[in-house]
Chains A and B, each alone.
Chain A
């Protein structure tokens, strides 16, 4: 992975354009031609009126009409080719962004935990990507509209400078008045949008707890609450409608005011003989089309702002760094693992069971030993941080309920050849997972293991860890969702298959303790005592903890 500095939004946007120089150049050319052609059509309409209609010249009418027809055929081709070029680049950009996000998830890895919410991870490849990728198309539209504006202004100017002044000033005023108005409308809607968000979250909450609401009650209560909030939203919506309807009407009417101004000016000029009737018709048509152009400028500006926001979020995501640096170089370590923080030591082989009343500190110790957090932990004679991370990951494995099952076949999930996979399934007593999915390693495990029960997911995760056969396995409550009978079988089989490897299990279950070579009793996150299960049973507190409710 290249260790480039995190990109700024600006650099990202430029980077999106860089791979498409020819596409962009060709697209700009097409949009230029399209803008010029469409404006010339309107100018030619004036010639038709003057030289054809007023002059009553059939030949001239046919001539100009033929020219207009050529323009009418060519302009859509120019425009759509430009569109294809720019939007094609936009599609490629979407791919680029999702690839960048994918790669960064790999690079930053566990560093993303707690820094990016699940909601953000949904938005990044969908809404944010869509917005950021769109920037290039909007730049294209801007070029197209600018061409129309410049060519149109020049042509109107050629009819009469005064009309030119009115049209340029009118467009400027339209854009200046409606642009900020629109911005204000968006701000006013911010509260309203937030309320919509809250109500949506409320609906999601109801669906999430639907089982509870149906099973115990509260459905009527929650429906009533939702209705109240929905009515409140409606009232706010009414208020927004009051003000936004003015703004929308203004936005819609401004251009028509501007058309009226052109008509009035043009009519006076025409009555004066300063311009022809054809010139008046052209000017009116230009004004009509400029309505669309000024509207497009505003639309483009809004999309570019959205693109900037999306790009900023992507840049922020890309700036998140990994939480465990990979600067160590040592390989081929051996020996015991030590965590000075808690005093926990994992010998190079055998089954160590950690007994504790609170799982959290034991989990934290295991995270330090597996180097998911930087600490003073040591492996053999060297600090754990001195080893290459790949080496640590390959040889020390942490197994918790946080482990994730990706959408894949059963075989792919276990990541070993079929016989080893079946052996791991056997050891983890996960045969019901295998048969339940159709007794084939080709069966699909859904994303997050959704098609399995909680207990099945736990045993499948265990099977996956066993199949990897790491030199050291640190398992935190690996059988908490399993019945006693099965738990006893798992403890027996895991101990047998991993006899020559190091295994640490955090559990208070006597079924595991029966097989332990060594027991570590942790109190308040520190090692309190170490010994065999039989030795430690002398302490009444320990006995209470491990003998399932027996009296001290």
Chain B
């Protein structure tokens, strides 16, 4: 955990979350008002039931006829029917509002994620961004669609009931209000204290999930190294934390629910006592007293409903804070326009974060149409060179330029038309083979795609067809196949400069050679900068740069370097087994 902390994406603060909620409402103002009006009317008609009951009580005292009682009771039933229709319309409008808000939210997040600067994407890692675009979006959407409308109906009902007590008798209404301040204080206190506790409880659950997933993924390692006892201890510790955090939540809940129930019922006692006093002083009729008491009995249900939903609302807010966090990343403007495609590093130094320099005044100038291979031991800074050339990172000193302007200042869309970086990480999208290939050229014809596949020697793909669904649930690809897809994408994209960072590592020795050869043919005429720890690709290169400790140790053609009998020659002989 601590290792990843410094690269975490930002989280929005409370004020920003409030603004985000307001924006969601403001974007669909008309509909929001419509929902509120319908909910309020529905609640109003349902509250008329106890008020009319009061009339009946007084009527019985005044000796109403059965017919008149039936008439008023019929009116009650009519109110219920109207309320039913209104509440249906309100619910439907509420769901639709929530549905639209959820759609806006998720489309917004995905759109923003797709515009993130590359270095931030890499730093954050998939986990964090993935949770934000998936489960956090769902949590907020659920709030907008389900618990939001429920809470809103209950909340409006509470308001209408309070208004109703005033309608029945203003003084009794005031009495009913007496318990509102302590209720709000208790709720605020609970809100503040429980948010951390709930988050901690959820965190404990995901830690347990992470630990168990690790045990599952590492089942063979556990068995091989007899780690059962350690895994047991770790798992049990997670279980213990889960229980402790649950108990903390329980403690807060018990305290809050106790207060909530007390305050609800205290309100009833106060209303009954006050109604009794007024009644004895002839301040109100029996019917009014009964109506006030029955309204007070009713307030408890929706109040509890609102309070119980507080947690949902809290979780929704926490999720929205994380989603809004993505908004807080402001990409640097990249507007420089390159004059040509001459790519070069001049005396660059670079280090990651606060760390020491990885490159020390390194210069490299790939010529147009040249095939340049960069070799050297792991950790020498080869991949860093690739990242600087691709404009992912900015050098500390010195310059990385294309067409005379810093690569980092060239817009991503412009840059990738000229320069494409292929790494070892070959991602295959859950989509058709065609969609996996046309990324850079949405209008590419099938013939062009098939040609690209042929060029990277992907006969299997041609045989299965462009409409084949790829992805783990459909057609799972081997490393070598995924690699061919990645390379075919580049062939389709057809950039002038291709940077291959160990792009053919991790495939069987037999097939690696084939892919290399095929690729060299496919990329003929392009500028290719290949980063390699193995020497497969080196001998046929136009030029080889040997990197050691962040510097270019040797540079030249294969023959020149062998003749020089330096580092490269040593490596070559060892590698060939000579």
Contact = CB atoms under 8 A, between A and B. Distances in A.
A372 interface: yes
Interface in B532-552: 533-536, 539
Interface string B277-289: 0011000001001
Interface string B426-438: 0111110001001
Interface residues of B, number: 169
Given A68-B272, A253-B83, A75 B66 contact: no
Interface in A94-131: 94-96, 98-99, 101-103, 105-106, 109-110, 112-113, 116, 118, 121-126, 129-130
Contact of A484 (B100, B276, B534): B534
B103 A65 contact: no
Grouping DSSP codes into helix (H, G, I), strand (E, B) and loop, the B interface class, with mixed when no group exceeds half, is: helix
A226 to B, nearest CB: 5
A157 interface: no
A96 to B, nearest CB: 8
Given A121-B212, A218-B438, A358-B508, A253 B80 contact: yes
Contact of B265 (A52, A75, A397, A415): A75
Contacts of B84: 249-250, 253
A264 interface: yes
Nearest to A98: B239
Contact of B416 (A216, A263, A485, A511): A216
B99 A210 contact: no
B378 A486 contact: yes
A98 B60 contact: no
B218 interface: yes
B577 A514 contact: yes
A114 to B, nearest CB: 11
Given A101-B235, A253-B83, A357-B510, A94 B217 contact: no
B513 A549 contact: yes
Given A80-B257, A83-B254, A98-B238, A214 B212 contact: no
Closest CB pairs A-B (n = 6): A510-B577, A102-B235, A404-B218, A218-B439, A241-B95, A76-B261
Interface in B197-240: 205-206, 208-228, 231-232, 234-236, 238-240
A305 interface: no
Interface stretch (A15-23, A160-168, A338-346, A446-454): A446-454
A241 B539 contact: no
Contacts of A109: 219-220, 222-223
Nearest to B539: A549
A244 B221 contact: no
Interface stretch (B21-29, B105-113, B340-348): B105-113
A518 interface: no
Contact of B130 (A79, A208, A267, A533): A208
Contact of B214 (A80, A406, A432, A514): A406
A48 B243 contact: no
B448 interface: no
A212 B221 CA distance: 32
Contacts of A52: 276
Given A53-B286, A125-B209, A230-B106, 12 more contacts: A72-B269, A118-B217, A122-B213, A199-B106, A203-B106, A207-B113, A213-B114, A219-B114, A267-B60, A271-B64, A357-B508, A545-B509
B301 A288 contact: yes
A284 B53 CA distance: 9
Contact of B576 (A83, A397, A464, A548): A548
Contact of A56 (B280, B293, B435): B280
